[in-house]
Structure 1
Amino acid sequence: MAVRQLCAPGDLDLRRPLPGRPAAAQRVTAVAATSGLSRVAVATAAPWFPGLAELLVLSPGEGGRPTRLPMARRPRGAVVRDLLFSRGGRALTLSLGGSEEQQLGQLAHFTLEPTPVERWRRALSRPVYAAFGECGGLRLAVSGDGEVVAGCDQASRSVLAWSAADGSRLVDGSAEPPRVGGSEAVAVDADGSRLAFRLCRPYERAPDGGVAVLTPDGGALRVLATGLDWCAGLVFAPDGTRLMVVGTADGTAESVLLDPALPPGEEVVERRRLAALPAEAAHQTLRPVWGAAGPRAALRVDRTVTVWDLAGGGPLRSVSDLGRSTAWALTPDGRALVVASPAEIRGHDLG
């Protein structure tokens, strides 16, 4: 399968490297791409110098130098933890935080056309429980129409959703009553009318791998049992009728297809075993995608990422020799895997 180079040598170099140090960034913290690879966003960082972190947007088909977006509003800088395009690549949402310099996480939303503009920025919670440590950043989800942005605030374990237009709060899981808690895995359907997430309470495990489907307008909340020990990611079908869940059970990666319309106890439509996972890879968080080619997900084991066809249960492609400084992501249509290192960005065609 074809591999496409998505940037020129030196495109990802820091603009203002420290004296006596190389211009190459020390690691890539996040990467995102649009369907067709018309746009790619890459967040680079220097762990010992957070102020040197940069966010770049590239248009591989058009050439030219990358566009750098401003992230920090204070001298200590910012670290990008997650990125996600929406509206066909015309908007970009990013999750900031998770460092000693910036324990308070943030969410920022940019529009990229005709010129990049930051539309709004919102602060996340400080850690409520000391054992949770620093804010690890919000794992993002965006509705298919780009109107709703959602995530689970890992500091408070609250499920949150915002309007992409103005940043107004649509769902506040920290409000009482009831308190809606979730883990990092979250998904939004095509029109933003439903959110799905792995149920979570501080120091507690959701029974039977419970996945919740929340309707923000009416507040209806239904819990679906998956039988998984860990939920790594979720994705709605394009028509919103079904929900694919990826996780682990007894040390094996599994995909579980759910139909929320079925009666309780009958929600599981199909279950497939994918591959055995070592202990260090059992609790990863990922973002499955569901396009015309069906549901797909990229699972990491050691230094290898494998893209799986969740409907068929078979592997599509593996990319090996990935270091700790590397980030990867599937395009929304699932037809390409983008791998970004401090030196290059590659797009692997999946067909």
Structure 2
Amino acid sequence: MAVRQLCAPGDLDLRRPLPGRPAAAQRVTAVAATSGLSRVAVATSAPWFPGLAELMVLAPDEGGPPLRLPMARRPRGAVVRDLLFSRGGRALTVSLGGSEEQQLGQLAHFTLEPTPVERWRRALSRPVYAAFGECGGLRLAVSGDGEVVAGCDQASRSVLAWSATDGSRLVDGAAEPPPVGGSEAVAVDTDGSRLAFRLCRPYERAPDGGVAVLTQDGGALRVLATGLDWCAGLVFAPDGTRLMVVGTADGTAEAVLLDPALPPGAEVVERRRLAALPAEAAHQTLRPVWGAAGPRAALRVDRTVTVWDLAGGGPLRSVSDLGRSTAWALTPDGRALVVASPAEIRGHDLG
């Protein structure tokens, strides 16, 4: 299968290297790409000086230097935790913060056409429960029509959603009684009317592997039993009728197809075993996609990422020799795996 180089040598170098330090970035914190690889977004950081972190958008078909988007509004800089394209690559949403340098996390939404501009920026909450760790770790999801941006705030363990148009809050899990508790794994359906997420209830036990579906109109919440020990990621079908969940059970990765319209106890439509996972890989978080080729997900074990066909239960391709400084993501159509290191970005064709 073909491998495509998506950037030229030196494209990811830092513009302001410190004296005695190389210009190469030290880590890629996040990467995203559009279907067809017409645009690629990549975030880099320099651990010795986070103010040198950069956010770039590349157009591999057009060539030329990357477009560098402003992140920080303070001298200390910012760290990108996640990013995601929407509206066919015409918009980019970025999760910032979650570090000692930027205690308060932020969400920034950019439109890239006709002129790149930051449309809005919103602050995330500080930790409500001190034991829950660092601030601002927001895992993103965007509706298929690009109208709704959502995420699970790691600081407050709350589910949040905004209008992509103006940044107005649509769902505020931290303010609703009782709180809607979620953790990292999150998905939004095509029209943004429903959110699905890994269930997390602060200070009380949540169902093992349980996922919840929240309807924005009316706030109805439905908890679905998956039979999993851990939910790693989930994605709605393009028509919104079903939900594919990837997780682990008894040390094995599994794909579980759910139908939220079925009565309690009958939600599981299909279950497929994928592969045995070592303990250190059992609790990863990932972002499955569901395009014309069906649902797919990329799971990492040690230094290898394998893309799985969740409908058929078989592996499609593995990419090995990945380091800690590497980020990867599937395109929305599931046709390519993008792997970004501090020196290069490669697109692996999946057919």
Q: Is the 8 A contact 2:106 2:136 kept in 1?
A: no
- The 8 Å contact of residues 126 and 136 in structure 2, kept in 1 or not, is answered as no
State the TM-score, normalizing by the size of structure 2.
Answer: 0.99
Deviation track 1:149-192 (CA, whole Å, cap 9, x = no partner) reads 00001100000000000000000001141210001000000000
State how far apart, in whole Å, the 2-side matches of 1:344 and 1:94 are: 21
Distance in 2, matches of 1:302 and 1:205, equals 29
Does 202-211 or 216-225 show the bigger shift?
202-211
Secondary structure at 2:208 match in 1: helix
Deviates more, 1:207-216 or 1:229-238: 207-216
Aligned 1:329-348 pairs, distance under 5 A: 329-348=329-348
Q: By how many angstroms is 1:136 displaced?
A: 5.3
Q: Deviations over 1:299-329 (max 9, x none)?
A: 0000000000000000000000000010000
TM-score by length of 1: 0.99
Could you give the per-residue CA deviations for residues 28-82 of structure 1, whole angstroms, max 9, x where no partner exists? Answer: 0000000000000000001120000000000000011000000000000000010
Closer/same/farther in 2, CA of residues 78 and 65 from structure 1, 3 Å limit: same
Kindly provide the CA deviation profile for residues 184-209 of structure 1, in whole angstroms up to 9, marking residues without a partner as x.
00000000010001110124442242
Alignment of 1:47-196 (within 5 A): 47-135=47-135, 137-196=137-196
Deviation at 1:263, TM superposition (A): 1.0
Distance 2:58 2:85 in 1: 12
- Equivalences for residues 4-19 of structure 1 within 5 A: 4-19=4-19
Cα distance in 1, alignment partners of residues 205 and 24 from structure 2: 42
Write out per-residue CA displacement over residues 96-123 of structure 1, whole angstroms, 9 at most, x where no aligned residue: 0121111211100000001110000011
Report the Cα distance in structure 1 between the residues aligned to 2:92 and 2:136, rounded to whole angstroms. 19
Does the Cα contact within 8 Å between 2:27 and 2:46 map onto a contact in 1? yes
RMSD: 0.8
Query: For the structure 1 residues 136 and 232, does the alpha-carbon distance in structure 2 shift closer, same or farther, using more than 3 Å as the test?
Result: farther
Report SS of the residue matched to 1:260: coil
2:101 and 2:308 map into 1 onto residues whose CA distance is 37
Q: What stretches of structure 2 of length at least 5 have no aligned partner?
A: none
Partner of 1:207: helix, strand, or coil?
A: coil
Q: Which digits, 9 at most, give the CA deviation of each residue in 1:254-286, with x for residues without a partner?
A: 110000111111000000111111111111000
Deviation at 1:291, TM superposition (A): 0.1
Identity of aligned residues (%): 96
Partner Cα separation in structure 1 for residue 346 and residue 111 of structure 2: 25
How far apart are the structure 2 equivalents of 1:326 and 1:284? Answer: 15
- The farther-off stretch of 305-314 and 121-130 is 121-130
Aligned-pair CA distance for 1:127: 1.1
Counterparts of 2:48 and 2:125, CA distance in 1: 24
Matching residue of 1:201: 201
Q: Which one is further off, 196-205 or 153-162? A: 196-205
Aligned-partner Cα distance in 1 for 2:346–2:255: 27
Report the Cα distance in structure 2 between the residues aligned to 1:241 and 1:93, rounded to whole angstroms. 26
Residues 203 and 278 of structure 1, relative CA distance in 2, 3 Å threshold: farther
- In structure 1, the residue matched to 2:277 is 277
SS at structure 1 position matched to 2:200: strand
Aligned mates of 1:53, 1:99 — CA distance in 2: 12
Shift of 1:246: 0.4
Q: Measure the CA separation in 2 of the matches of 1:213 and 1:265.
A: 15
Q: Would the aligned equivalents of 2:209 and 2:247 in 1 still touch at CA under 8 Å?
A: no
Equivalent residue of 2:280, what SS? helix
In the aligned structure 1, how far is the partner of 2:311 from the partner of 2:333?
15
Q: How many residue pairs align between the two structures?
A: 351
- 1:202-227 deviation line (CA, Å, top 9, x unaligned): 24442242211110111111111001
Residue 260 of structure 2 is matched in structure 1 by 260
Measure, in 2, the Cα distance between the counterparts of 1:208 and 1:344: 39
Which whole-Å CA distance do the structure 2 matches of 1:3 and 1:207 have between them?
41
Decide whether the 8 Å contact of 2:208 with 2:230 is kept in 1.
no
Q: Give CA deviations for 1:113-146 in whole Å, capped at 9, x if unaligned.
A: 0111000001111112221221252000000000
Query: Residues of 2 paired with 1:270 and 1:208: CA distance?
Result: 18
| Partner Cα distance (2:77, 2:168) in 1 | 25
CA distance in structure 2 between the partners assigned to 1:66 and 1:198 by the alignment: 35
CA contact (8 A) 2:277 2:301 kept: yes
